[in-house]
Amino acid sequence: MRDHLIIIKVGGKIVEEEVPLRSLLKDFSRIAGGKILVHGGGKSATTLAEKLGIETKIVDGRRITDAETLKVATMVYAGLVNKNVVAGLQAFGNNAIGLTGADLDIIRAAKRPVGAIDYGFVGDINWVNAQALSELLVNGAVPVIAPITHDGKGSLLNTNADTIASELATSLCSRYEVRLIFCFEKAGVLMNEADEKSVVPEIDPVMFEELKAKGIISGGMIPKLENGFNALRRGVSAVVITNAQGISGGLRGTRLVLHI
């Protein structure tokens, strides 16, 4: 029987403001067994870029990353956010280790080819070093992953944190029974954006297409769900979209399934 592994991606205010971060880390630290935290940090990156007079361009929810923006992303994701999360988890007794894709060569990516849009220093994942991650997990370490990868030729690349979480999940599911949790500010997929109680408990690809066509699912939720369904198809045991409260409370939120 494979050991359990839970991969939680957290983004938004939850990881960037002191009080909700502390609460999240307390809940996360209490999860028993193998676990990995993948975080974002986009809001802090946008704030720092603004202060430095660097314009932030986002197309279809993806940040256009020129050389200066890559520096900002590296500073905020791999430095500020990552190390505060690591220090916070250490204080709660979890032996956290902060990593980008470059550290131990855990995530190798390729710079996205220039098409209709030039995304700049954005990396699409080529492979995940599941062996290196497994060794850390076996030793009781808790990997905390910043959304920065590398190309193996010396360049860092900016990579979407949701994508990193689902690639890690699929790469590790031959070794572990993996649950993948996307944790953000809303309680799950909502039928009515203004009503946190309108959570869709389960969603399958057919329903996803319907809700997308109706405009109920839009923006950053679309790639999140696409990533989630792909992870399920590639062997991940469970995919859930929830908020910070969902982590402590037995994974409420929206559960992705291939067939309802």
Q: Is residue 103 a contact residue for a copy of itself (CB under 8 A)?
A: yes
Interface with a copy of itself (CB under 8 A), residue from 38, 148, 178, 211: 148
> Taking CB under 8 A as the criterion, which residues in 1-30 touch a copy of itself?
22
Residues linked to residue 158 through DSSP beta bridges, in sequence order: 122, 148
Minimum distance between the CB of residue 259 and a copy of itself, rounded to whole angstroms?
42
Site string for a copy of itself, 82-101 (x = CB under 8 A): xxx-xxx-xx---xxxxxx-
Q: Report the distance separating Cα 144 and Cα 142, nearest Å.
A: 6
Q: Report the distance separating Cα 154 and Cα 135, nearest Å.
A: 24
- List, in order, residues 6 or more apart from 105 with CB less than 8 Å away: 129, 132, 150, 152
Minimum distance between the CB of residue 189 and a copy of itself, rounded to whole angstroms?
33
Q: Give the binding range for a copy of itself (CB under 8 A) out of 61-69, 152-160, 165-173, 245-253.
A: 152-160
Q: Order across the sheet with 148-150: list the strands.
A: 123-128, 107-111, 148-150, 156-158
**Residue ranges in 52-129 assigned as alpha helix (H):** 67-73, 82-91
- List, in order, residues 6 or more apart from 26 with CB less than 8 Å away: 92
Q: Is residue 154 a contact residue for a copy of itself (CB under 8 A)?
A: yes
For 252, list phi and psi in degrees, rounded to 5: -70, 180
Q: Is residue 112 a contact residue for a copy of itself (CB under 8 A)?
A: no
Q: Is residue 78 a contact residue for a copy of itself (CB under 8 A)?
A: yes
**Residue ranges in 92-220 assigned as alpha helix (H):** 130-138, 161-172, 205-213
- Report how many residues bind a copy of itself under the rule CB under 8 A: 40
Q: Is residue 135 a contact residue for a copy of itself (CB under 8 A)?
A: yes
Interface with a copy of itself (CB under 8 A), residue from 6, 12, 42, 77: 77
Nearer to a copy of itself, 71 or 252 (CB): 71
Question: Encoding tokens for residue 240?
Answer: 């859930």
Minimum distance between the CB of residue 109 and a copy of itself, rounded to whole angstroms?
11
Minimum distance between the CB of residue 53 and a copy of itself, rounded to whole angstroms?
8
One-letter amino acid of 191: M
At residue 142, the 3 state secondary structure works out as strand
One-letter amino acid of 153: K
Interface with a copy of itself (CB under 8 A), residue from 1, 19, 32, 51: 51
Question: Which residues in this chain contact a copy of itself in the complex, by CB under 8 A?
Answer: 22, 48, 51-52, 71, 74-80, 82-84, 86-88, 90-91, 95-100, 102-105, 135, 139, 141, 148, 150, 152-156
